[in-house]
Structure 1
């Protein structure tokens, strides 16, 4: 627990008795405050957890985690890749040399591609460099899903500042507010927004031509001198392209087999994870065996499913528990990935086996409906459509959202923004759909002239 004295600035308690100089008021020690709130806010990812082992810190930086500048904004540096700290230093170096900093930055990547992990290392690296005197900005980690109907400024001066004030009750609310306002004006903070896709906003605040990214960008106008780094998914940007206008965009590099995949496996099974004394040295053997299993030519068709860090980490997780024969089909692989997913999520969102089976059935019906409509426009299913399957005010729907199977999505259809729900990971959507499809006519409907068997999303069934 951090003592209140460590969260207040150095007060000038010395005063001259000759002129009765007043004691200076206590002010927030923002480095300590930002460190504590960063620690509280960091989510646990699949890279950070093991059965009965959860850490609230990024730990070792995955060597395969890299970003490259998007072609539209990269110029001659299109091929330069950066790890989280290399990326941070590339931004700080021009500032140290008297240049301008890039104020708005976006990391774009698909579900489970490593966006959260990248931002975590960026935020902690920024705080460390501030302590070393190499950066003048402090990270403020924000979870857009908690914004509700608030603008960024309202959220900062509302829930975020209220949480900060609990760290030191000796500082008056007015002093907290004035200090935060001054810090935002002089660029003392760097906002890190993880998962803009999960921004919940009041529909009444938005026009029919405004999406979450556009709303967020308009909200940033209230803190014009504050740099921002956010993450989002490609479909969010595709559905709201105006929202990232003026942002310097970067994208997560896809994992390549065998180089990146084997490096990620080695990083997962490392000695910094606790293991029983009788199993000392076993993690390296697990990594070697898993790499050998994936190198089997008969399993080459499964490798593309493991080219995103989250799925690969879930694979490492089930391999750690059951290091036996590797699955030989995509369905068998995803059964194990799904079980590992529930074990990972159970560390903060538990679910019972019976509930998991019921969820699988409902998610299968939902996925089948989405694939049946052949939604090339990525239109989300409306709440009414989802409630036809789950029921109104369904606890299972809330569970699917909490676990991360489903997520809120928005898309433009005929010039109007539609809000609803979609699957967070398209391959898990396809897996649940496959479980629900019991009739081959779904793929080859000669009466309706629908030949889904040739559709890209149906490959692998």
Structure 2
């Protein structure tokens, strides 16, 4: 009997088979002959049991044919396929053999248990690589190392690149970071003139990070078959949370983490974390951190900037030889370089273009680097994202502990710890600030200063003028601005009149800059001079002296100086100060009483303006609402206009306006409509509407998700009160469960009303499949709750369903990892379960509870999606032959669509056509026609999802025209699910189109 092989060739063949199977099962196979593939489909049957479990029934000879049709590394023969299937079973342990008898049967019937979601083929293949290498015997690895060593010595191979001169790259990068002041606190430029300056480690308090993972309700609406999954409570712990040390040491230490994005709001500590990462790389690895402030690119590509700017500056040379440039590129080729890209949102580009531009930069030798970038949340989440393959983390805010005293460190009270560090030389001052923040009336302010930048500003302000704290963000910045003038009064004295004049000028400058989105954060000298006057004296010079403006570079094209506000948040504050009338954000002269016969007219003397829908104005709006010099009646008018906004084109923008108002009342808590607005958010998030005045229906997924986000951003006390009232009055058990869990876990941890409602549900629910979930929710809201524990124990003992018993035992074990009943039940199911999948999952549950799962460093972050991988492969082919090959493929798909009478075949071919030829009109028309004509709800959903994934912005008007009559009050009961799909697609159009353009298309005959 031949010995099993685990070497490179066996791995390559097994990987090939897995890749082809997954692509085939996902309707994403890049095929050389579509007709042959269609003929093969009845012979290779696949079915997805879940997002990561695939059932396959076929024969080896059909798999052999499939590998010959798939574009790639060639056909596998029958023996190679059998070998690969055996390796899946005995080596990787991802294959369950479902055949009743394994001898004498040509048919293979098996289940593949994947590591990642079905669509993420690249991530599954990367997991395959890691697990294969991890499981390989040491002897096999040694043979491979010796083979590679022999190859490197072969005289037939070219010698590795070896330049005549190569700098000490590690020291060079260390010196470059030092020269860029990456060991200093980012607030130092504003505080150093007053003698307040910190090294980063003096005041640094680690912020947690949370890994962002797509959730079912974000990626798409659930189907009726999903049952109670629709009512699963949201949970911030659905995502993995790290402290910075774990993040740096474990995650970044893994070789598979090639693309990472760190997101956060302004001042959330993104740059500070990137500084800590840079220091860790220098101190703990032989790798090379290269820091790039993306605002400095100034029109250059990343490759051009690194060679033309970063390298000469680091070497302190005017010119760099080609040999050194080649040596620098070689560091990338060897995988030694970490590119730390700071502030995507500060690039001199429109927000919607910045991420696409970054993606285009990550090619060639630059792509060999490990990339970590920082970006604002609104830029990352706005519209299509060309960097979706990045593994994404979000900075958490500082947290509060229950108690904090100076002289004793409490890790849970990060705000207190930061204050202690800031006032390390004046502890009494820090204690008084902490006491003031603990006053009940300061609850909203406490929430605001969990942001690191705002807390630093508050500490400095408190140190200069104790005794007064603001109630809104706008007032906080106002107080800080006044403090800045006082700090600099000795060196740069200003009168009250000069300050007011400069503030007005900075407001005008900020307002104009944000309006000109391409240059909103990087302001050219000529532009600033037009607003502030000459730079050698007057307001321009004063702004530079006080630190409100700082030179950040030289324009590549014009050769003129480029400036920026000290921080984008200050630019937004000054812009908000310059807005005198809320109509600047919403010119609603038409919209108070809109009608189709009088559409908005941008050519009118005073064209309508809808800045409320533009993300760059959102923070400005909030700061304007927080101003104490704006009459309350004006703010009330603005909120009223927002909640009554009738877009007269389906309501998509009306909802968006309402969500702006909901966020706005966090800064305008005295609003008369505040309680009504928050209650509406709760209804949209958890409740139901009346469908045709008969049947209650769940709101479409985009509304539910936006309401969830808005609730988190609105006035927190009012949200808590609304949720308490809602769960006390609701009669729906699932709604009570969902809302109570959110209340007790997220909005007001430990809330007594939430706990009482969950306890009541645990006692009264009859279905164990739901009851164990409610009990587990209760235990997570109220740690150690005996009612929850008793319910889980009872379900384990009495349930006849093996899956329910296992889930209840696992939940009990997560509450108490050493619980005897939980552990013994899982062991029993693992060894004696009738269903083999339950046995396997019980083993996995045990491994997790006992700490035997794979370390976090082994988790995989896909560097690109499967479709991006395919596009990259196509780009690498020769130009002429590839051109004719693609055009032939396009023609074949178009003919195939016309020739087929099967709807799903038409959809698959149209989807492939849209991927291969973005913007193809036949693909768009076919998918839209299927949505209009199909009677299949599932096919309607797939067609909508295919459109959302592949549609180009210029095609959005065609989608609107085709779907605009999909109105919830005009559809029948059995068409409701189709309406949901159309609604999500139209919502996507609204998110990516200007309102006026959307309106014109909607009302076009």
TM-score, normalised with respect to structure 1: 0.69
**1:87 to 2:250 alignment:** no
Change (3 A) 1:138 1:26: same
Residues 396-407 of structure 1: pairs in structure 2 closer than 5 A? 401-404=564-567, 405-406=570-571
**1:221 to 2:368 alignment:** no
**1:191 to 2:339 alignment:** yes
Match 1:144 to one of 272, 294, 315: 294
Distance in 1, Cα, partners of 2:621 & 2:484: 13
Check conservation: 2:485, 2:494, Cα contact below 8 A.
Answer: no
Distance in 2, Cα, partners of 1:392 & 1:110: 31
Check conservation: 1:143, 1:194, Cα contact below 8 A.
Answer: yes
User: Which residue does 2:310 correspond to in 1?
Assistant: 160
Distance in 2, Cα, partners of 1:233 & 1:351: 35
Residues 407-446 of structure 1: pairs in structure 2 closer than 5 A? 422=616, 426=620, 429-430=623-624, 434=627, 437=630, 440-441=633-634, 443-444=636-637
Distance in 1, Cα, partners of 2:431 & 2:639: 49
User: Which residue does 1:28 correspond to in 2?
Assistant: 167
* Cα shift readout 1:377-421 (whole Å, capped 9, x = no counterpart): xx952379999x9994545799664333237xxxxxxxxxx9x99
Change (3 A) 1:450 1:217: closer
Task: Name the SS of the counterpart of 1:139 in structure 2.
Answer: strand
Check conservation: 1:126, 1:137, Cα contact below 8 A.
Answer: yes
Match 1:246 to one of 378, 385, 389: 389
Task: Name the SS of the counterpart of 1:444 in structure 2.
Answer: helix
User: Which residue does 2:187 correspond to in 1?
Assistant: 46
Check conservation: 2:508, 2:531, Cα contact below 8 A.
Answer: no
Check conservation: 1:306, 1:312, Cα contact below 8 A.
Answer: yes
Give the Å deviation of 1:319. Answer: 1.8
* Cα shift readout 1:173-218 (whole Å, capped 9, x = no counterpart): 23321210111111111000111111125x8xxxxx9610111111
Change (3 A) 1:158 1:166: same
Alignment gaps of 5+ in structure 1: 1-23, 96-100, 131-135, 204-208, 276-280, 371-378, 408-417
Distance in 2, Cα, partners of 1:366 & 1:35: 37
Task: Name the SS of the counterpart of 2:386 in structure 1.
Answer: helix
**1:382 to 2:576 alignment:** no
Check conservation: 1:443, 1:451, Cα contact below 8 A.
Answer: no
Give the Å deviation of 1:352. Answer: 5.3
* Cα shift readout 1:311-338 (whole Å, capped 9, x = no counterpart): 011111122223x323264365443233
User: Which residue does 1:411 correspond to in 2?
Assistant: none
User: Which residue does 2:263 correspond to in 1?
Assistant: 108
Change (3 A) 1:315 1:76: closer
User: Which residue does 1:313 correspond to in 2?
Assistant: 456
When Rg is computed on C-alpha atoms for both structures, the one with the higher figure is 2
Distance in 2, Cα, partners of 1:447 & 1:257: 35
Change (3 A) 1:172 1:218: closer
Change (3 A) 1:282 1:426: same
User: Which residue does 1:211 correspond to in 2?
Assistant: 353
**1:457 to 2:664 alignment:** yes
Distance in 2, Cα, partners of 1:76 & 1:385: 36
Task: Name the SS of the counterpart of 1:224 in structure 2.
Answer: helix
Residues 327-342 of structure 1: pairs in structure 2 closer than 5 A? 327=469, 329-330=471-472, 333-340=476-483
Check conservation: 2:212, 2:239, Cα contact below 8 A.
Answer: no
Distance in 1, Cα, partners of 2:335 & 2:519: 45
Distance in 2, Cα, partners of 1:239 & 1:351: 43
> 1 or 2 for the larger relative contact order (CA 8 Å, sep ≥6)?
1
Match 1:266 to one of 394, 417, 420: 417
User: Which residue does 1:19 correspond to in 2?
Assistant: none
Change (3 A) 1:458 1:30: same
User: Which residue does 1:125 correspond to in 2?
Assistant: 280
